[in-house]
Each structure stands twice: as structure tokens, then as C-alpha cells.
Chain A
Amino acid sequence: MNCEECHEREASLHFTKIINGEKTEFHICEHCAKEKGEFLPGSNSFSIHQLLSGLLHGDGHVPNTPSSNFIPPSLACEKCGMSYYQFAKIGRFGCDNCYKAFESKLNPIFKRVHGGNTLHAGKIPLRAGSSIQEKKQLQQLKQAMQQYILNEEFEKAAETRDEIREIEHRLQQGRDT
């Protein structure tokens, strides 16, 4: 049976979608399924890990830069022993260190899964230290200052600049002691 989308390739995925109790059958090839994004997590069928594994395998969809396509077979995590190939196959990290070991490959994956985002913007563990919190705050303030300058709100910009200096001073002192 040919794919209902491209009418060229053999349909290899057969789905039943139920909308309002009405059954509709889909016969589609893998290529078109990915392209359509029909079967993204949460929209039935496919388990999330099957899908991720498909994304991680590359096949031209994930890596943005041609050079990042090449994965040295030796790329592996020294803490848990998981290789990048294994990770790509099962779609899960073996330990926290995998994030460091596969660092160079991760941005495109995160971008894809998290709507273009690659950086954490949420809660920070209390004990991980206040310095992370302050650095984050610093970043936000700097962005806000730029915005004030663009809006020609110079008084606010100056206030924000003072706040930034204060935090920078505090961070500097923290390093000195």
C-alpha cells in the first residue's frame, strides 16, 4: 500500500485515529509521518522513546550543522559507560554526566523537544548556592536594561544599571573571601 501523503513510498505506519468517536485510518510512510509532525508525543501512537530515538538517529532531521553529523564511535560517558549510539537508540541518558559527555550533540535535540529552548529558566535547588540565582538575576537585569535603553526610558535604565553593579560587586566580594 502506498503512502497517503506522498503516494510514492510504501506506507509503513498504519494508524487509527479516533476523533469524536469516529474512526479514521491513516496509512503513511515514515518520512511523511515525521514531516507532518502528526505523531509527536501526546498525539497517540508511538511511544515517546521510539519517537526520540528516531530524532536522535539523525537521518538529516536533527543536526543543524553538517559537521555535527559525524559521531565518533568512541563518544561515550565515562561515568555510566553509555555510548552516544546507545543513548540515541534508547532515547535516555544513563546518568547526569551523559549531559556533559554528549554536550556537543544536545542543543539541536533540546531545541526540537522544548520548542527551541536549550537553557533552564526555572527553579534552582536551594543548596546549589545563591550564586546561580544571582547570576540569573544579573542576566535578566541586563536584558531589562537593554530594553529600557531601546525604549529611551533612561531613568529606569540607570536604576537597573545601579542594581546590576550592586550584584556584580556582591558576587566579586564572594569570590574574594
Chain B
Amino acid sequence: MSLERFISDAISPWMKREGPESDIVLSSRVRLARNLQQFVFPIAADKESAHEVISSISSFINQEKDVPEAENLEMLVMEKLKPIEKRVLVEKHLISPNLAEQAKYGAVLMNEDESVSIMLNEEDHIRIQCLAPGFQLEEVLHKANVIDDFIERNADYAFDEKRGYLTSCPTNVGTGLRASVMMHLPALVLTKKMSRIIPAINQLGLAVRGIYGEGTEAQGNIFQISNQMTLGKSEEDIMEDLAGVVMQVIQQERAARKQLQDGLKLQLEDKLYRSLGTLENSRIIQSKEAAKCLSDVRLGIDLEILPGISKTILNELMILTQPGFLQQYAGEVLTPDERDIRRATLIRERIKLENR
């Protein structure tokens, strides 16, 4: 497969659109956790009960033509996928590592542009996930709500007046809503402001994590900010709190970028060009170094220091250089050392495409 074709298949169509504040906010995501009242939760379910959940949902999905958000959903059953295929879905953030690795009878429903994925039998029966490029929290919540209402018209949710939507984990009960934005914050990291910002955000009941969620460090200066609380606040309040903090972080990042450009222009240019040089020339590159250099190049593009490279390159390469995609591109299982070589090659080829 040619590299162009591979990239185009690997990147979800929704990622190719540019969203608001996309110099800093890479993507917005909303997840709603829901359960069906008549079945026990996946953790306690046997095979029969789990399969019933899937058939109950698929009995009405794609039936209604008035809900475009829930149209043309394709179902993938985890049992039938190869490990590498599941890994690729995780790297595209379409399913959770938990669904890929642990869920016994998991499945996912996806729409054509992959902006909607509905996981079945993950920790909860249903997890509706909507993604959009840039800062678009309201839009993704709206979309998730439309799908939620559609499912609710056809199925009885486990809901309690006092506790709200009943979920398997006590951390999700209530709204079942987890909203998050993925932010690229290189200037705040460079100016060492991030270490002061993270505790402040935590104090407001929000979590800051690395790109791959809980327990991961911020590779490539990409941070995910999300709400922690799901009980006692309305969806709108949760979103408002999160959006307010994100707006402030955007402003801080812009101010830090300006500070760097005003005060340390030459040093900054040197750093960014060196990173571009590394990506263009290295023969072996580990994921961490690749992520760091890609972050620098992305900053260089945003600050118009590095002209002639498209903006989507970071989003693309952050995904393409993950182990699953590298192996899919190579068409074989690779050792970590082999992956470092392939990664360097893939990045060089990708940048060459750009220069053509």
C-alpha cells in the first residue's frame, strides 16, 4: 500500500477537518456511560447475557432514519478481530484498551467518519463516544445526547432518581459523562508553567493526564483535561467548568508562546529546526523522542517558523508511529528495535511527501 493511501486509511475522517482553536486544542471528546436495566453489568455477566445486550442494541440500531448521528453504524465484534486490529482501534482512540484487552464479549459500533463510536460490554453496557477536531465540547455533547435519546427511546436504561444513570464504577454514576479535550501545550512546558497549572486544575475537580489516559505521562506535550465528578452537577455545569478552564489554559499557552517568540526567538528557532532535522534524518527513533520532535515541529508550524509543512502532520504521525500502526504498515510483527527503525523510516517518508 502506498504511504498516501495508508495515511488516508489510518486517519479518521473527522480528524482531517480543522476545528476551532486548533493551534492548541487537538480534539474534543464526550463519553456517556449507560446501562440497560434488565441485564447485570458486563463485569458480572455470563456469555448469554452479554450476547443479549449486543443483540438487543443491534435490533434497533440503524433502524431509524431520522437520527443521522446514529445512521450507518458498523458493528465490530472484538472476538472476531486480530490483536493488531484491536490495537489500531485503540491507537485511533475509537475503543478503550479495556475493551480491546479485557472485555469478554465486547463490540463497537462506529459511524463512517469515525466521530461516533459506541462501545458495548465495556465496563458498562453502553459507552457512547463522540469526537470532534479542535475545541467543540458543546457540539460533541449535543451529538452524544442525540444518540443517547435515540437509544433510550428503544431500551430501558438503569436510572435512579437519586443517583442518576447507574454505572458499574462509582466514579461514573450520575451523569455518566466524561468530557475531555486534548491540548498541545509546548510553550507552557518549555516555560515551566505547567507544573503550577496542573495542581490548580486538579483543585477545580478536573484531571490532567497524558495522551493515553490514566497513568501515562504527557508524551509530546499533549495533555488531556477532563472532568472528574459526575454526580451532583448537571451536564451543562460540568461542561461549563471544563470549557472555562480550557479557555484559560489556551490563553496561557498563547501568552507563553508569545513570550518565547519575543524573548528567545533564535533559541526557539534553533530548537524547532533541530527537531525537524532529527525527524528528516534519523534512522532509528524511539517513540518518546519522536513525540518530542513532532511537538516541536507542530509548534514551529503554528508559530509560522517552519513553513511548508501541513498542520495535520503531528496528529497523523502521533498516531502512525504507534506500535500497532507501525506493524500494520510493515505487515508483520516487529520487535521494539525494529519498530524504532520503521518509525524513523515512516517519518522520513511522510516529511518527504510534504516537500514534494
Query: Which residues of A does B touch, CB under 8 Å?
Result: 18-21, 40-49, 52, 79-82, 90-96, 99, 106, 109-110, 113-128, 132, 135
Contact = CB atoms under 8 A, between A and B. Distances in A.
B234 A121 contact: yes
Contacts of A135: 161
Please classify the interface of chain B as helix (H, G, I), strand (E, B), loop, or mixed, using the class held by over half of its residues: loop
A39 to B, nearest CB: 10
In the A-B complex, the 6 residue pairs with the closest CB atoms: A117-B232, A42-B207, A120-B164, A96-B158, A94-B44, A114-B231
B169 A20 contact: no
A19 B193 CA distance: 10
A119 B40 contact: no
A110 B170 contact: yes
22 contacts: A18-B217, A19-B198, A21-B189, A42-B208, A42-B226, A44-B216, A47-B215, A49-B169, A52-B171, A95-B41, A99-B160, A99-B166, A118-B231, A120-B165, A122-B233, A122-B234, A122-B235, A123-B164, A123-B235, A125-B152, A127-B152, A127-B153
B157 A120 contact: no
B173 interface: yes
A90 B173 CA distance: 16
Given A42-B228, A81-B44, A92 B189 contact: no
B149 interface: yes
Please classify the interface of chain A as helix (H, G, I), strand (E, B), loop, or mixed, using the class held by over half of its residues: loop
A91 B170 contact: yes
B215 to A, nearest CB: 6
Given A52-B169, A92-B169, A93-B41, A41 B232 contact: no
A53 B314 CA distance: 38
A47 B216 CA distance: 11
Interface in B130-166: 145, 148-149, 152-153, 156-166
Nearest to B235: A122
Given A43-B202, A120-B164, A91 B214 contact: no
B249 interface: no
B41 A121 contact: no
B123 interface: yes
A52 B171 CA distance: 9
Contact of B202 (A18, A20, A42, A113): A42
Which of B35, B152, B232 has the most A CB atoms < 10 Å from its CB?
A: B232
A121 B170 CA distance: 16
A45 B214 CA distance: 8
A114 B232 contact: yes
B123 A92 contact: yes
A46 B171 CA distance: 15
B332 to A, nearest CB: 32
A120 B149 contact: no
Contact of A93 (B166, B194, B209): B166
B7 interface: no
A132 B157 contact: no
B229 interface: yes
B171 A96 contact: no
B111 interface: no
B326 to A, nearest CB: 24
Contacts of A44: 209, 214-217
A42 B228 CA distance: 8
Contacts of A95: 39-41, 44, 158
B96 interface: no
A46 B233 CA distance: 26
A134 B228 CA distance: 28
B44 A82 contact: yes
Contacts of B217: 18, 44
Contacts of B163: 99, 110, 119-120
Interface in B206-242: 207-209, 214-217, 226, 228-235, 237-238
Nearest to B167: A93
A96 B233 CA distance: 21
B261 interface: no
